[in-house]
Chains A and B, each alone.
Chain A
Amino acid sequence: MNDLARRWATAGLLLALVLLPTVASRYVTYLVIHILLLALNAVGFNLLFGQTGLLSFGQAGFYAVGAYTCARILLAWPSLLPGVLGGTVAAALAALLLGFLSVRHTRIYFAMLTLAFGMMIFSLAWKWRAVTGGDDGLVGIPRAPLQLFGLVVALPTVERYYYVVLVAAVLAVALMHRVVHSPLGLALRAVRDSEVRAEHVGLNVRRLRLVAFTVAGAYAGLAGSLLPPLENTVTPPIAHWTASAEPVLATLLGGIRHFAGPLVGAFVLVVAKDVIVRFTVHWSLVLGAVVVALVLGFRGGLAGALEALTLRGARVRPVSAAAGEEGR
């Protein structure tokens, strides 16, 4: 895709997203909110995995920090913005703290450490009854009105709330696009491709990893804090390590080497799940088989496969073959 086509595609997608609630049913709108939440989480995760080369199995922990913090704020002070911002900041702080400890390791040790931290957050959500409501979770969270510059927008319907999520998602994804294409993004990729060389050109590898980890945590927290106003409840399973796999799978499915990969993956994952569970309860069976096939055959994900298709016969770009083949 050249630049112009990409711009048109982006504009078309945005237009479709804006018009969606006027044409689609309430259920579809609700589903798209979930796609946007997963996309936010996955875009953040891919900064960590695709860009920096760190596989975290603890993203659900930060998602839950965002969700629970936002829920507590909304229960005390029913105003959407403080809830969402508070949740995001809390998740970013948690990620900064745990990231400071985690980035000493890479690869499997890093994955294990993030798994342990994520499960510590899960056990707090599950057992710390006074704050989190224990296994009952928190209920009756209001979809509080959006108060901005003295303007008060009530959000009684899913359709109205959809626009809040859409604006947040578009802003966050656009910001991530800037980050990935900034010198910081380049530095992160340098760390991923060779830690030693990155260090030799004077990059502070550990600090860069910490930045990526914190940003990923903030994105997970933003996604998480947009959840309670939609569902009116938060429960501990969102923090469990098996939930951490969702952004991982979305990213892998879409393609880790493309900016749009996690977005495509989130869309396909949520839609495929919705369609498949109509026919069979064995959604995990299908998902598991897809993951195995992706890892074995299509490490570039859907975006990588699409690119390979569109580039066939056209100019040959040697970089596309490198998708997922670092073999460090």
Chain B
Amino acid sequence: MEVFAYQGLIGLSSAMYLWLISAGLTIIFGVLGVLNFAHGSLFMLGAYLGYTLYGLVGVPFGLAVLGSMATVAVVGAGVERGLLRPLYGLDPSYQLLLTFGLVLFVDDLAKLIWGGVFRIPPIPEWLQGSVTLFSRPYPIYNLFLIAVGLSVGVGLWWLFDRTWWGRAVRATASDREMAAALGIRTPTVFSSVFMLGSALAALGGALSTPVRPVAPGIGAAMIVQAFIITVIGGLGNLRGAFAGSLLVGVLSSYGTLWFPEFELFFIFAIMAAVLLVRPQGLFAR
């Protein structure tokens, strides 16, 4: 029983990476209608930048994370304005193809710039150590991750539900033309949403640097997981993305422990089943 609870807690902390990347992916889809294949690459870029600032340059961890988020947000704005904007109104397949091209480009660019084998920088001092939970040591860093993930959740709820900007975004998402007619600058809304999503992906990436190795392949691995989660939660559904992240994070934590052979298969089977039976997502209201 204690193993069960402990393994669940481990899953909970890895669910937070998934949540941070899926949140951005699903927001961007919900508002722009773009399914961003390159979102995993933004996560990877955030991880590399966080690693460079914190592990190589020696910037304090918190600042390194913020710096990585800001940089990736700017990259995201560039992608949205320069590359995606000309494709709105065309068959959505072209947006998928373009962002797929970006995956190839960005992943290889990371190889070109950072290349080589990576050390994992030490966990910042104030987050080192562990507490005893269910008679096992549980890293404080994981508790920190859970706290960040939950705060992001609350923050996003506040942003979308309680601010003028959030209302503008929701108006744009439900009817682009009507929102524009009401005086909302929908192009600005699009860019800011894409920046927010990119920053969230970078946050997840930068937070992963002290515990997970960064490599060019993580972008492709993360995006597939994020696709699964956003599909399970319902494309464009933020609440669903949160629930989906918890579900996938915790299930794969048990999966790797008890049935490692078929974990991957079952997760994709769940994704396919949701698409077939409830394409609006398990958590749609």
Residues on A close to B: CB < 8 A? Answer: 49, 53, 55, 101, 104-105, 107-109, 111-113, 115-117, 119-120, 122-124, 126-127, 241-242, 245, 248, 252, 282-285, 287-292, 294-296, 299, 324-328
Cβ-defined contact, B276 with A112, below 8 A = no
Binary flags per residue of B244-285, CB closer than 8 Å to A gives 1, else 0? 000000000000000001101100110110011001000000
Cβ-defined contact, A108 with B235, below 8 A = yes
Binary flags per residue of B213-246, CB closer than 8 Å to A gives 1, else 0? 0000000100010011001000100000000000
Residues on B close to A: CB < 8 A? Answer: 35, 83, 86-87, 89-94, 96-98, 100-109, 111-112, 220, 224, 227-228, 231, 235, 261-262, 264-265, 268-269, 271-272, 275-276, 279
23 A-B pairs with CB atoms under 8 Å apart are A55-B97, A112-B35, A112-B275, A113-B276, A116-B269, A117-B272, A119-B264, A120-B265, A123-B268, A127-B264, A283-B108, A285-B104, A285-B108, A287-B104, A289-B101, A291-B98, A291-B100, A292-B101, A295-B87, A295-B98, A295-B101, A324-B90, A327-B89
- Distance in angstroms between the alpha carbons of A49 and B89 in the assembled complex: 18
Contacts A108-B96, A241-B224, A284-B108 given; does A325 touch B90 at CB 8 Å = yes
Contacts A112-B231, A291-B104 given; does A327 touch B220 at CB 8 Å = no
B97 CB → nearest A CB, Å: 5
The listed residue (B83, B90, B228, B279) touching A292 by CB distance below 8 A is: B83
B45 CB → nearest A CB, Å: 14
A326 CB → nearest B CB, Å: 5
Residues in A with CB closer than 8 Å to B96 are 55, 108, 111
Cβ-defined contact, A123 with B264, below 8 A = yes
Cβ-defined contact, A127 with B265, below 8 A = yes
Residues in A with CB closer than 8 Å to B35 are 108, 111-112
Cβ-defined contact, B108 with A328, below 8 A = no
Which residue in chain B gives the minimum CB-CB distance to A245?
B100
The listed residue (A49, A117, A127, A328) touching B261 by CB distance below 8 A is: A127
Cβ-defined contact, A328 with B276, below 8 A = no
B268 CB → nearest A CB, Å: 5
Residues in B with CB closer than 8 Å to A109 are 275, 279
B89 CB → nearest A CB, Å: 5
B184 CB → nearest A CB, Å: 24
A125 CB → nearest B CB, Å: 10
Cβ-defined contact, A126 with B264, below 8 A = yes
Contacts A120-B268, A289-B105 given; does A107 touch B92 at CB 8 Å = yes
Cβ-defined contact, A101 with B269, below 8 A = no
Which residue in chain A gives the minimum CB-CB distance to B98?
A295
Known: A104-B276, A113-B272, A291-B100. 13 other contacts (CB 8 A): A53-B91, A105-B279, A108-B96, A109-B279, A112-B227, A120-B272, A123-B264, A282-B112, A284-B107, A291-B104, A292-B98, A295-B94, A324-B90
Cβ-defined contact, B224 with A111, below 8 A = no
Residues in A with CB closer than 8 Å to B264 are 119, 122-123, 126-127
Residues in B with CB closer than 8 Å to A116 are 228, 231, 268-269, 271-272, 275
Residues in B with CB closer than 8 Å to A117 are 268, 272
Residues in A with CB closer than 8 Å to B224 are 115, 119, 241
